Structure 1
Amino acid sequence: MTTEVIKKPPTWFWVVSVIALLWNLMGVGSYLMDAYVSIEQLEAMSQEMRELYEGRPAWVTACFAVAVFGGTLASIALLLRKKWARPVFIISLIAAIAQFTHWLFMTNSVEVYGTGVYIMPILVIAFGVYLVLFAKKGIANGWLK
């Protein structure tokens, strides 16, 4: 019979976990704003921006949803100190990479929006990788059960 030792995480674990949840909730907000664009908002877009929006394949929108809702669920799992946060963060990261691969390399988004379009994908992917590693550290240190 084996018993798992659950250690009390340090204060910074909770700080990072709350920041992760807030970050991912902002992603959910961004997804919802994107999913419920009004006719007025579409009409206010330039022709090139509207073509990018309307020409996006359904799988890209699905990746966006999996990335942000998965990240939110994994962040909640961190706060509940659950090991399954790590595989959910991995799924979320893979979805984000797929979404941004399409956005940056399969469309003319850089031509339409300029080179600033690289900033958010870099931030999202970097933070996603950090959260996967953070959850791994939480498991290794016995903070997650």
Structure 2
Amino acid sequence: MNPSTTKQKAPKWFIALAVFLLVWNLMGVLAFINQISMGTEEVALLPEDQQALYANYPTWALIAFAMAVGGGFLGSLLLLLKNKWAKTLFILSLVGIVVQMTHSLFIAKATEVYGPGAAIMPVMVLVIGVFCIYIAQRAIQKKWIA
């Protein structure tokens, strides 16, 4: 066996972090499912300005949302399974995050509807998305995943 490709035992904090990231990204998947499953009755209960956001949500932004949460969830699962493809999926997720947040913050101007606090979650999602790539790269370098 080649020593340069031998996996090293991952520290316990790494496993705990991978579980946290899996749960975090599962919440994103649930938010996506909630958004795509909202019927006209539920949308009609929203304030008018929020209804307009839903009515004008383009397909490309929805695809970006799916990429963001799907890539993040699968990347976290692969990180937990100690598979190096986690990094690739995290990169895909980050692309989705950037596209979706660009739409939300700059095109749809969601902060005009939800207020300036609406920017907090997108920034947090972006930071965690970048962190996921960092931790996957570090795990590859430390040979915790292969």
Within a 5 Å distance, the mapping from 1:1-145 to structure 2 comes to 2-3=2-3, 4-145=5-146
Structure 1 position 108, deviation (Å): 2.9
Aligned to 2:127, the other structure's residue is in SS state helix
Distance 1:67 1:91 in 2: 7
Q: What are the superposed Cα offsets for residues 124-145 of structure 1, whole Å, 9 maximum, x if unpaired?
A: 0000111100000000000011
Structure 1 residue runs of 4 or more that deviate by more than 3 Å after TM superposition: none
Q: What are the superposed Cα offsets for residues 51-77 of structure 1, whole Å, 9 maximum, x if unpaired?
A: 111101100000001110111111110
Aligned to 1:77, the other structure's residue is in SS state helix
Distance 2:46 2:120 in 1: 21
Aligned to 1:18, the other structure's residue is in SS state helix
Structure 1 position 45, deviation (Å): 1.1
Normalising by the residue count of structure 2, what TM-score does the alignment of the two structures yield? Answer: 0.96
Distance 1:42 1:71 in 2: 27
Q: What are the superposed Cα offsets for residues 33-89 of structure 1, whole Å, 9 maximum, x if unpaired?
A: 000002221111111111111101100000001110111111110111011100110
Counting aligned pairs with the same residue, the percent is 38
Distance 1:7 1:57 in 2: 45
Structure 1 position 2, deviation (Å): 4.3
Distance 2:108 2:25 in 1: 25
Distance 2:25 2:51 in 1: 26
Normalising by the residue count of structure 1, what TM-score does the alignment of the two structures yield? Answer: 0.96
Aligned to 1:45, the other structure's residue is in SS state coil
The code of the aligned residue for 1:125 comes to L
Q: Which runs of 5+ in 1 are unaligned?
A: none
